[in-house]
Structure 1
């Protein structure tokens, strides 16, 4: 009797999923889906053009290092997301020589070209591309870079980047560019907001159709950008500065990286969208509580996903003797909890967006609100930003 009841439940679950789409039915995730998510969650995930607006895909930037194969499409499918804003930064190591930033940027794009080719994926250049990929159940990405260091004062490079598929520009990152664009929120204030070159970059991005990301900007830099930009902007990864918890050292480190209620309202009133990252949460429920806190301030139409995690494994260059014949590779260190998107929380059993949808339903969000947060809000401003000329 128990076995027949179990078989009936399985058949009911599969019948319910039949309306969700053949990709779900063919997905290897179906093996855990019945036990872990249920048909309601699967339906919402399938309906959402889910986008993580800030996700790092590590690539070698020197141009002469081997790049291991990554299962970008598989990891994206597992997450339940339709796309990520696939980003990288060129300033993790000090930029010393002229054109260092530009060379690293081109090498990074080339590596990402190879990764997309091996995964049989394409970049989405506009909302139409996103919709088409979602309809066809095809994994896709929006090309992003974190920081305008590659420009090095040469505005024409922005159009070159546009031609290579860049559609999401993080104006600033951790370190000043050789020709600075504005004040970084974790560094001493130097420019009182944006520099003239930073203003020029925003105007050119608006003209071309590149979405501007104001993460890492001081409040003055954000406010200056909002006055200049003719298109809505995103702050892709942050959280409310009231969600710090009780760890004093953690709070001191995180405080400059977070947004105040007052500043969040300013961004929302200008039509912008704010991404909630996973770094302030130890579980999907806690993450959704952080989402709720921001929604209560700016409304559901101005909040999105922005994990600041890595969908694929972190890239670690081989040791000097690796790659030589008969030299076995060293075992890669395990990823830290929270580093990988689909392992954002301890003991996470399902992909990222499945876990988030489950927690949102349990905390009172309805289907329309979940779809807006999951990708609808991003799609709205991405469409507005990329219409260009």
Structure 2
């Protein structure tokens, strides 16, 4: 249910526009396309509303901020270092906690290449300073903070990053990031680094898996209580980490490669290994990453094909949701971020399905899944879909958040 404690605060309202920071054309509405609700009958409506209020709902992976309306402003917008959290969107959502994965390779305040230490600190610092000036969203440091947010009608925001390139070869930077608020970190974001191999190396002789330094990084992350995500790392890296880590590890925004055959999706072997650590697999819905080869359309049902496949594979106690969505025009943002260039290895090997005869051959063919345009709409419809498809109250409570919290209690 929407959070009634929202007072209308907009990002960086404590500063003067165009004096303290540059303004950009941002969306006026949460929806770009036509809003959609999974249809329910009267009894299902009552049940969905009740579960939305009673369950602790945790999104394992989002980017809950606005992208500019004009795609040619995106680079300058991120270069300014002040992306605008959608407090309105979070307040209108049913979320109790959201893992905010910041801006990653778009963090280009000091360097045009992203993933630099200074850029990560700038990004995190600006976002947390803004967060401190409003009172609907709190910064999360523990499972207790998420429980508190649920009880007090707040949203708990968990700062996270998708790759560890910025730590370079310095283990102590893990401690520093934890001290500054980061509670989850990926290893390699597509490209390999000091820690691990990125998914551009999947199925190649260059896939070295976890490095010797990476093993030390995993041990340090276990010690400080930093959750480990493996989504943008290779299969071998995932298997290596599962063997090394003493704590549960995660795929926080993933899907099944058996249903959508790209390197961004995960093999059965790797998902079983993550589950064996006590970890959780969050189902993604990001437009360029995932749909279902069982369907010719792109809707919430295609995303839930992956949910049901992975539940059958590893058990419902190891599955949750990390939609990986944003507030903005997905239909223009994603093609701008992933241009369809012939020979672009990253796009062709990671995001475009090689399955022949499917309706989506390029990134620009895939807009946001119907019913999951942004985090607010997605999480309302996740609850509705689970109710409509006959899942029990206990199962719904598990996949909406309890599975994540149970695993995090062993990590944090």
| Same topology, TM > 0.5 | yes
Larger Rg: 1
Q: 1:113 to 1:271 in 2, by over 3 A?
A: same
Larger helix proportion, structure 1 or 2? Answer: 1
> What's the CA shift string for 1:9-52, capped at 9, x where partnerless?
xxxxxxxxxxx9x9579999xxx99x988321111111222111
Number of matched residues?
A: 328
Q: 1:337 to 1:99 in 2, by over 3 A?
A: closer
1:183 to 197, 200, 221: 197
> What's the CA shift string for 1:74-96, capped at 9, x where partnerless?
21233322111100354358997
Q: 2:311, 2:179 → 1: CA distance?
A: 36
Alignment of 1:1-389 (within 5 A): 38-57=45-64, 65=80, 67=82, 69-72=84-87, 74-92=88-106, 101-120=116-135, 121-177=137-193, 180-187=194-201, 188-190=204-206, 192-244=208-260, 251=261, 255-278=262-285, 279-280=290-291, 282-311=298-327, 337-338=367-368, 343-344=373-374, 351-386=377-412
Q: 1:61, 1:155 → 2: CA distance?
A: 32
Q: 2:175, 2:305 → 1: CA distance?
A: 40
RMSD: 3.6
Q: 1:27, 1:292 → 2: CA distance?
A: 38
Whether the 8 Å contact between 1:76 and 1:311 is mirrored in structure 2 is no
Whether the 8 Å contact between 1:61 and 1:108 is mirrored in structure 2 is no
Whether the 8 Å contact between 2:372 and 2:381 is mirrored in structure 1 is no
Q: 1:61 to 1:123 in 2, by over 3 A?
A: farther
Structure 2 alignment gaps of length 5 or more: 9-35, 67-74, 293-297, 334-365
**Which residue in 2 is equivalent to 1:5?**
none
Partner-residue secondary structure (3-state), 2:105: coil
Runs in 1 of length 4+ with deviation above 6 angstroms?
A: 24-28, 59-64, 93-100
Partner-residue secondary structure (3-state), 1:169: strand
Once the two structures are TM-superposed, the CA of residue 98 in structure 1 deviates from its matched residue by: 11
Q: 2:167, 2:45 → 1: CA distance?
A: 48
Partner-residue secondary structure (3-state), 1:52: strand
Once the two structures are TM-superposed, the CA of residue 384 in structure 1 deviates from its matched residue by: 1.1
